[in-house]
Structure 1
Amino acid sequence: MNKKDMAIILSVCTTLLVNTTYFSITEAKGTINRNDIEANYNPFSDEDIVDDSTLTMTERLAKIQNEQKEHKSAIENVQDGHLYIPKKTQLKVELVNAITSKTAQEGENVDIRLVDNLIVNGVVVIPKGTIGKAYVYKARSAGGFGRKGILMIAGKEFKTINNIVVPLKQGLTGEGNSDGGGVAVAAVISVIGGAFMKGTNIEYPAGTIFNVEVKENVDLQATPDNLNEIMNPNIIHGTEITINL
């Protein structure tokens, strides 16, 4: 093989490698539309991270004292005397429809169904079978060089019988398979050969069961005395409008 032929082959391989890398980046980025989820929020984080690095020592001490007072005097986000759904309550849910990393888009809405009743003080506040909302937090389709598909579904919200929004976090995570070391060897030997070695996508069938977590304390706007009445499913709950003619 002469130098001219080698130069042509090298040029083709370089172009293919650049194009493959480019498509990997653009596909991984996806279309971001987080449905009003706050910027930089990670629903799979175990704790809410607060940056207090800019506070002075006096401000930090005041912050700690205020937090201690709030903890002693009241439950966060809950009016005194009201019942509530505690933060980090685990809920078992299932996917209503199948979804795959091959076609999923970041920010896409996903329907979830509550598997068991959520009961507070002996009263059902969210019935089994209630449809809630989740969304695609991260999605990446499978690609060349053994790149495996990734799909993360985060819980967003349920509503109680009396229409109280229950914000959620955590959810379902998974990824396909890659060719591992074989791909790395193939990539060294042949850029063209490696590009045709595909990873696999991850697919969650309808009915896939997983857990979500209540993001924060949720005030049920009810007391122990009237919870049963407020959560009566036979009472119509919603926004009432009165029009006087």
Structure 2
Amino acid sequence: MKKVLLIMMVLFMGITAMAGAGEVKEPAEEMTVSEVMPGNAYLPRGTMIPAELLTAVSSGDNKAGDKISFKVCEDVAVGNIVVIPKGTVGEGYVKAAKKAGLFGKSGSIQLDASNIETPGGLDVPLTMDFAKIGKNQRVELNYNNSIAGAALSALIPGSNQKINEGAPIMIFVPVNVDLQVKSDEVSPPADDPAGKNIFVQPAPMAANPYVTGNEWTYTGSKGTIAFSIVEVGKKKFKGQLISTGDELLVFDQSFEAEKTNQFTSIKAKSKTDGKKYTIQLFFRDDGTWQYVVDHSPKADQESIILIKQDSGNSL
């Protein structure tokens, strides 16, 4: 009887080990919790950082746990402080990998980011898993055809998934990161007093943004953007998007979009060139929206921060 139990235990342990093979465990839970000292400036949870992959990977050659690196493609700033300069290199890993198999079974690979160190010595936790930001909501992310960390399967049956060096990827900040500097030491950029990434709140304040009458705007050297909520339903909301300026694509469009906690996507026709564009907005814990236009020939191909206007409605 004891021998039978021992054999069963060995078999169970073997099955458990096989089930866990090919996938790396999630980073420590401490990454999901962050405290910001009252009065300090911070990099808000939900910030999207466009980057490019520096390490080519393949489901046929790589295994779970292999290290990867990436390079940030635009400055990430809080007011006049560039927290993460363009070109900064961060680290990540292969979260799961499965080789192509017999009978046309395709390979798959999943990546994740882990962290990046700022010039000031802060270690900023990062992720490519949008579920950590969007509270497990299924959303399609497509920033310049970038890879958002979802498991990728090869398009050709029986082949391995390959991701080349230089591929665009989307990185997210999963927690509020205390910059260890008082908010009164942070000022708007000198050349753009109401512009990119100016957010200094007394404390993180994330909540439901979908309230009729809420409006967020940008006014700066690039032009103006106004994004407003007109009507809110159970699953969708209606709004208005207006943008002007020589350095921005011009839009003036009513729209209907899906409600998600941290992300929304809008299809709009530009008055600048008559083409249709996808506008992506990422809601962050400081109550701002991060505005990006996919494949824009203008300055809005990089992030612009929309700040909530006081309309009498509270988030």
Q: Deviations over 1:132-163 (max 9, x none)?
A: 01111111111102111111111111122211
Q: Does 1:144 align with 2:102?
A: yes
Partner of 1:85: 43
Contact 1:136 1:153 survives alignment (8 Å): yes
Deviation of 1:225 (Å)? 4.1
Partner of 1:98: 56
Counterpart among 199, 203, 221 of residue 162 in structure 2: 203
Contact 2:80 2:186 survives alignment (8 Å): no
Q: How does 1:99-138 map to 2 (within 5 A)?
A: 99-138=57-96
Measure the CA separation in 1 of the matches of 2:166 and 2:109: 16
Deviation of 1:29 (Å)? 2.5
**In structure 2, the residue corresponding to 1:158 is in which secondary structure?**
strand
Deviation of 1:27 (Å)? 10
Partner of 1:158: 116
Contact 2:24 2:95 survives alignment (8 Å): no
Measure the CA separation in 1 of the matches of 2:59 and 2:155: 12
Contact 2:91 2:115 survives alignment (8 Å): yes
Q: Does 1:172 align with 2:149?
A: yes
Measure the CA separation in 2 of the matches of 1:143 and 1:226: 57
Equivalenced residue count is 151
* Larger RCO (CA under 8 A, 6+ residues apart): 1
Contact 1:82 1:222 survives alignment (8 Å): yes
**In structure 1, the residue corresponding to 2:109 is in which secondary structure?**
strand
Measure the CA separation in 1 of the matches of 2:186 and 2:105: 52
Partner of 1:217: 176
Measure the CA separation in 2 of the matches of 1:128 and 1:204: 22
Distance 1:27 1:206, change over 3 A: farther
Measure the CA separation in 1 of the matches of 2:105 and 2:40: 51
- Paired letter, 1:119: A
**In structure 1, the residue corresponding to 2:106 is in which secondary structure?**
coil
- Paired letter, 2:28: E
What's the C-alpha RMSD, in Å, of the aligned pairs?
Answer: 2.9
- Paired letter, 2:174: K
Greater fraction helix: 1
- Paired letter, 1:100: S
- Paired letter, 2:154: G
> Which one has the largest radius of gyration?
1
Q: Does 1:38 align with 2:55?
A: no
Gap regions ≥5 residues in structure 1: 1-24, 49-74, 180-198, 229-245
Q: Deviations over 1:91-127 (max 9, x none)?
A: 1111112111111111111101101010111321110
Q: Deviations over 1:152-207 (max 9, x none)?
A: 1111111222111111122433111364xxxxxxxxxxxxxxxxxxx111111111
**In structure 1, the residue corresponding to 2:180 is in which secondary structure?**
coil
Deviation of 1:87 (Å)? 0.6
**In structure 2, the residue corresponding to 1:222 is in which secondary structure?**
strand
- Paired letter, 1:80: P
